[in-house]
């Protein structure tokens, strides 16, 4: 590995981990005592008096798109009327801060406001006759002016090959600040809303996702399989089918409505530390012509240029890395590589404006990797991308056969989730790939 480009930190901590280390968990025991503070410890689990009804609440409740003072919830239950009860950590105890009535017809999405920033919360669904769901933990986002070390998880591709997704159980133990889902969270074969909805519902019966959902909130984008394999509107997917798939996606991963398109591209801000910039790289694509709409591209550039956060994580689903040296131009129209003018325009915008703290996050290819997005000497050659997951889909072995290319410091053919430690004080991101056995199988400290 040559460290000739910007991005790597010199020294022992920057070396690839040859063996295995256990993922550390929230120890507060930073390797960098001069770095940003860890969050305060959270109180012990909240245990309401009501009895758990696992049949009525097989889905529990899912927290998504948290903000400093608000959060979204996907409420799925066989009950027609429930209360969503939210408690917040105050002085080492749990204090009830919200109790919201929710009418449900299979599934409902709810936005709750009036929450306090950077605070541990727990929530559960309750019935009038004293039954409840399991308890779900989440943290609100940092507010304006707030800063600390953030620990974020990311993965993709929850296919059947590695169910029940042990990496997600490992991620759950971290009690992450937030979990990023980069697409292919379901592999749908449906065409109707009822079909999509049922597929979203059944994912949670697998322990990994159930554990993870009880431990933190999600920010999700989609790839193709939330709708159909390699879909294009009007080709293999109709307007009605897209509407059904979109509604089911948003019912189960509720989101702040973005400013354009289907509302999926949006930004979630975590104080001074990071912006989570969510792309929709699927629904605006015109094969071999256009990857993002002009509107989404203009918004993306503007969001990057005006962001005041130390880090900008771009949730990108399909890699922007030029993978020519691995895959030539095979199926290049299914990734940024097939839209070279658009890709270079965007990467050039980031290069030319000297925007710091940009880290691309993607999935889709079914192997884990840390990439420079371009070969040496090309536009974007200093920008880095982490390919996160898969957590469950078949492993793409081609990448792991590749040797000795400085564009890909890490290539991993294992099921994984990625643990990211964002230190705004040091300006570093620790990238750790965690496998099924909860071992860190590769890691790299980035200065970006």
The CB-of-393 to Fe ion minimum distance in angstroms stands at: 5
* Ramachandran angles phi, psi of 84, nearest 5°: -95, 115
> Residues 136, 61: contact at Cβ < 8 Å?
yes
Residue with tokens 């608000």: 70
Only segment of 53-61, 272-280, 335-343, 390-398 that touches Fe ion (CB under 5 A): 390-398
Q: Which is nearer to Fe ion, 184 or 211 (CB)?
A: 184
Between residues 198 and 334, which has the closer beta carbon with respect to Fe ion? 334
Q: Cβ 268 to Fe ion, closest distance in Å?
A: 23
Q: Does 224 bind Fe ion (CB under 5 A)?
A: no
Say if strands 384-387 and 410-412 run parallel, antiparallel, or are unpaired.
unpaired
Assess contact for 140 and 71: CB atoms under 8 A.
yes
If you search the block for the tokens 């996907």, which residue do you land on?
A: 74
Biggest alpha carbon distance in the chain?
67
Q: What does DSSP say about strands 61-64 and 274-278: parallel, antiparallel, or unpaired? A: unpaired
Tell me the pairing of strands 61-64 and 70-76: antiparallel
Residue 126 neighbours by CB distance under 10 Å? 20
Q: Which stretch binds Fe ion (CB under 5 A): 21-29, 97-105, 184-192, 271-279?
A: 184-192
Q: Based on the shown chain and the rule CB under 5 A, indicate whether residue 184 belongs to the binding site for Fe ion.
A: yes
Q: Judged by CB, which is closer to Fe ion: 102, or 279?
A: 279
User: CA distances (Å), 114 to each of 75, 98, 117, 140, 177, in order?
Assistant: 19, 8, 10, 11, 19
Q: Nearest distance from residue 283's CB to Fe ion, in Å?
A: 17
Q: Does 186 bind Fe ion (CB under 5 A)?
A: no
Please identify which residue in the block is written with the tokens 């090309």. Answer: 378
Q: How many residues bind Fe ion (CB under 5 A)?
A: 3
Q: Three-class SS of residue 388?
A: coil
Interface with Fe ion includes 421 (CB under 5 A)? no
Q: How far is the CB of 389 from Fe ion (least distance, A)?
A: 8
Closer to Fe ion by Cβ: residue 23 or 157: 157
> Does 157 engage in binding with Fe ion (CB under 5 A)?
yes
Q: How far is the CB of 197 from Fe ion (least distance, A)?
A: 20
5-40 per-residue burial string, b: 16 or more CB within 10 A, e: under 16: eebbbeeeebeeeeeeeebbeeeeebeeeebbebbe
Position 162 contacts Fe ion (CB under 5 A): no
| Rounded-to-integer distance, Cα 210 and Cα 207, Å | 5
Residue 435 lies near Fe ion (rule: CB under 5 A): no
Residue 180 binds Fe ion, judged by CB under 5 A: no
Q: How far is the CB of 184 from Fe ion (least distance, A)?
A: 4
Does residue number 256 form part of the binding site for Fe ion (CB under 5 A)?
no
* Residue placing its CB nearer to Fe ion in the complex, 157 or 347: 157
Stretch that binds Fe ion, among 13-21, 150-158, 272-280, 349-357 (CB under 5 A): 150-158
* 162 secondary structure, DSSP code: G
Phi, psi of 13 (to 5 degrees): -70, -15
Pick between residue 221 and residue 393 the one whose CB is nearest to Fe ion. 393
Least Cβ distance, residue 43 to Fe ion (angstroms): 38
Q: Looking at beta carbons only, is 157 or 381 nearer to Fe ion?
A: 157
Backbone angles phi, psi at 266, to 5 degrees: -165, 170
Question: CB 129 → Fe ion: shortest distance, Å?
Answer: 42
Task: Please state whether beta strands 439-447 and 428-434 pair in parallel, antiparallel, or not at all (unpaired).
Answer: antiparallel
Q: How far is the CB of 217 from Fe ion (least distance, A)?
A: 23
Q: Is 395 in the site for Fe ion (CB under 5 A)?
A: no
Does 142 interact with Fe ion (rule: CB under 5 A)? no
Footprint on this chain of Fe ion (rule: CB under 5 A): 157, 184, 393
């Amino acid at each position: 590995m040559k460290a000739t480009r910007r991005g790597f930190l010199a020294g022992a901590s920057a070396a690839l981990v040859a063996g295995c280390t256990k993922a550390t968990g929230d120890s507060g025991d930073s390797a960098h005592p001069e770095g940003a503070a860890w969050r305060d410890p959270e109180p012990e689990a909240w245990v309401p008096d009501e009895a758990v009804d696992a049949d009525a609440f097989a889905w529990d409740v899912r927290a998504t798109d948290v903000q400093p003072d608000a959060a979204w919830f996907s409420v799925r239950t066989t009950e027609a009327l429930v209360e969503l009860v939210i408690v917040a950590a105050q002085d080492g105890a749990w204090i009830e801060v919200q109790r919201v009535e929710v009418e449900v017809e299979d599934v409902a999405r709810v936005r709750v406001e009036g929450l306090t920033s950077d605070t541990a919360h727990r929530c559960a669904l309750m019935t009038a006759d004293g039954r409840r769901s399991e308890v779900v933990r989440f943290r609100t986002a940092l507010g304006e002016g707030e800063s600390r070390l953030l620990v974020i998880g990311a993965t993709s591709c929850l296919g059947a090959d590695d169910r029940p997704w042990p990496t997600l159980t490992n991620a759950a133990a971290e009690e992450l600040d937030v979990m990023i889902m980069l697409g292919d969270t379901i592999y749908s074969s449906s065409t109707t809303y009822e079909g999509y909805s049922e597929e979203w519902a059944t994912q949670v019966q697998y322990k990994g996702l159930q554990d993870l959902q009880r431990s933190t909130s999600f920010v999700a984008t989609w790839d193709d399989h939330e709708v159909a394999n390699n879909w294009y509107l009007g080709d293999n997917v109709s307007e009605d089918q897209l509407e059904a798939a979109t509604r089911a996606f948003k019912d189960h991963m509720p989101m702040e409505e973005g400013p354009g398109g289907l509302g999926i591209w949006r930004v979630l801000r975590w104080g001074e530390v990071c912006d989570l910039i969510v792309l929709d790289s699927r629904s605006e694509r015109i094969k071999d012509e256009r990857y993002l709409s002009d509107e989404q591209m203009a918004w993306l550039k503007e969001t990057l240029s005006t962001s005041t956060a130390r880090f900008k994580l771009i949730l990108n689903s399909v890699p922007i890395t030029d993978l020519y040296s691995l895959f030539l131009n095979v199926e290049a129209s299914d990734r940024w590589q097939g839209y070279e003018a658009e890709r270079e325009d965007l990467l050039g915008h980031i290069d030319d404006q000297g925007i710091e703290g940009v880290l691309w996050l993607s999935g889709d290819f079914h192997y884990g990797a840390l990439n420079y997005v371009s070969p040496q000497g090309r536009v974007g050659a200093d920008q880095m991308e982490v390919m996160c997951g898969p957590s469950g889909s078949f492993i793409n072995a081609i990448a792991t056969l590749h040797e000795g290319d400085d564009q890909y410091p890490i290539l991993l053919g294992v099921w994984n989730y990625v643990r990211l430690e964002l230190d705004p004080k040091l300006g570093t991101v620790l990238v750790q790939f965690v496998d099924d056995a909860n071992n860190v199988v590769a890691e790299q400290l980035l200065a970006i």
